[in-house]
Structures are given as structure tokens and as C-alpha cells.
Amino acid sequence: MTVVGIGGVFFRAKDPAALQAWYRQHLGIGGEDPFHWTQTAGPALFMPFKQDTDYFPAAKQWMINFRVTGLAEMIATLRASGIEVTTHADWDTPQTGKFAHITDPEGNMVELWEPPQS
């Protein structure tokens, strides 16, 4: 018996309804039923980082990574909505794909990942 996928991501929020609406509006997570989100099958990583990593804020114990398509277009749309997007050329490689970081309204870092083309 093995785990076959991620069944949900649960975390605390000061204003859960507003945060859920933000994720739906800007990242397309959720829909008519905001509690269910059908994902497209593909790779997912489960990766603990060293305690002293500087890849995401030290005050946060977790960072969620969303697999996306059309990262460049998504970045443009997020920036047009006033959302700060951080990218670094050294994050992107032909082997790992392309990455961007944003922060949600409650200060949670979110990584956007466009896997490499097969």
C-alpha cells in the first residue's frame, strides 16, 4: 500500500473565505464548489528542506508549490493585478523547469512551477 496523491492542503488563515477567494481569483484554485479542486495529473514533489534554508522565509514552516502551465503569462497577469512576483534566472533550468514566487494576502509564500517540456 502506498500514498497515491495529495488529498488536500490545510492551513490556518485569519480570514479563510477571503483567502480562498484570492486563490480562486488569481490562481484559479476552486470553482463553483470552492472546497473541491480537480487537478491535472502530473509530477509532485514531497521534499523537506533543511531547517536553515533561505529558499523560503524562516518564519514559515511550509511553502506550497503549484504546478502551472504558461508561467510567463501567469506572471504578467499577476503583476497586472498588483501582485509582486519574484523570479531568478538561476532557479530555472532545462532539467527542473521554471519557477516564480508570490506571497498571498496573509504572508504565505507560494511557488509557481512550470515543469520542463517533455
DSSP 8-state class, residue 109 = E
Report pLDDT digits (tens) over 19-69.
999 999 999 887 677 677 888 888 888 889 999 999 888 888 899 999 999
Q: Give, in order, the Cα–Cα distances in Å from 14 to each of 11, 31, 104, 107, 108.
A: 10, 21, 12, 11, 12
Question: How many angstroms separate the CA atoms of 56 and 62, rounded?
Answer: 8
Please state the pTM of the whole predicted model: 0.88
- Record the cell numbers describing residue 68, joined without a space: 502551472
Instruction: Please state the separation of Cα 108 from the chain's center in Å.
Output: 10
7 — pLDDT class (breaks 50, 70, 90): confident
108 — pLDDT class (breaks 50, 70, 90): very high
The closest alpha carbon to 107, from 11, 8, 17, belongs to 11
Query: Which region holds residue 61: left if phi is over 0, alpha if psi is between -120 and 50, else beta?
Result: alpha
Question: How many angstroms separate the CA atoms of 39 and 51, rounded?
Answer: 30
Report the chain's C-alpha Rg in angstroms.
15
